[in-house]
Amino acid sequence: MADISSLEGIHSDEVDALCRAKIRTTEEFEAQIEPPFFNYGIMYMSINTDIKPDRLIEFVPPELVPMDLLPDVWLEGLAARVLREPLPDGDPWRKRCRRGLQRFGRGLKGHWKGWKDNLQIFVLMAVLLLLLALALRAAGGLQGLPSPLGLRDRALITADSLESGRALKSGDLYPALLPPESDYFKPGDNLEGLILARKISSQTPLRFRDVLRHQVIATKDIQANAVLQKEDITLALTPYQPGAALKLEEVYGRISSQTVRKDAAVLSEFIKSAE
């Protein structure tokens, strides 16, 4: 097998980009563009390497280039580059391009019919690119991108159907890569004392609203900066509230820095010492 660096005219940074995309030999490069998937292969490599399509086409042996099938926008860029550069002696690729693409040097003549007449082609290409991006996203190939493009968050998924009232155990759930949601439980979250509030089907993300736990709850409206008395709070099994105080002794005799409505959970982050 010939190393990818043996492609004529390829630069070192382009070699590195193709290798990062796991295209390390000329055979692997040509396998990406086997008919009838030449255009799709070029687009796939361009997306994964940031090398422009018309530049990738320059690495393709002339006999493998389906000139009549290339999108006009690629031909335009390729022709402009070829027509700007001097023609090396004995270079069959340049000669072929000069003969086949000369019409683009005269105001996009030839089979170019304008944007409106080619709209269906561009829509089809956009749909194909979107499907490719979604497939890469689902496979975890876009994890390096920020949300929502990359599926960066791991959420806890139910392994089997779980009945309401069941006390959760770590074996009931497993992590899976999903689009980020603020109310998903994640690996490492404390599941101790959580009880299902409703039946959950298998392969379902566990959300905060799906579970109950014993939390410190206000028995009446509590004003900001008030010292919490025994009659102000109680421990009750209520819908999961992140950050809620879990023990009465954590709260009793201390000050709430914010107003707490009746039946609302008392959040630990807003409790401070009375001193």
% of the chain beyond a pLDDT of 90: 14
Confidence of residue 105 (pLDDT cuts 50, 70, 90): very low
| Alpha helices by DSSP H, 141-195 | none
pTM of the model: 0.44
Question: Prior bond to 205 cis, omega within 30?
Answer: no
Residue with tokens 């876009």: 142
pLDDT digits (tens, 9 = 90+) for 120-144: 777 888 888 888 877 776 665 655 5
Residues 23-41 have a mean pLDDT of: 84
What is the Cα–Cα distance from 50 to 52, expressed in whole angstroms?
6
What is the Cα–Cα distance from 109 to 85, expressed in whole angstroms?
20
Please give the pLDDT value at position 199. Answer: 92
pLDDT digits (tens, 9 = 90+) for 244-259: 888 888 888 888 888 9
Confidence of residue 234 (pLDDT cuts 50, 70, 90): very high
Q: What's the mean pLDDT when you consider all of the chain?
A: 79
What residue type is 196 in one-letter code?
L
> For residue 52, is pLDDT > 60?
yes
Structure-token pair, residue 174: 């497993």
> For residue 184, is pLDDT > 80?
yes
> Please, what are the domains in the chain?
4-129 (no CATH), 153-206 (3.90.1210), 212-272 (3.90.1210.10)
Are residues 14 and 29 in contact, defined by beta-carbon separation less than 8 angstroms? no
Please give the pLDDT value at position 104. Answer: 44
> For residue 269, is pLDDT > 70?
yes
Q: Which of 65-79, 149-163, 227-241 has the lowest mean pLDDT?
A: 65-79
Residue with tokens 């700007």: 84
> For residue 106, is pLDDT > 60?
no
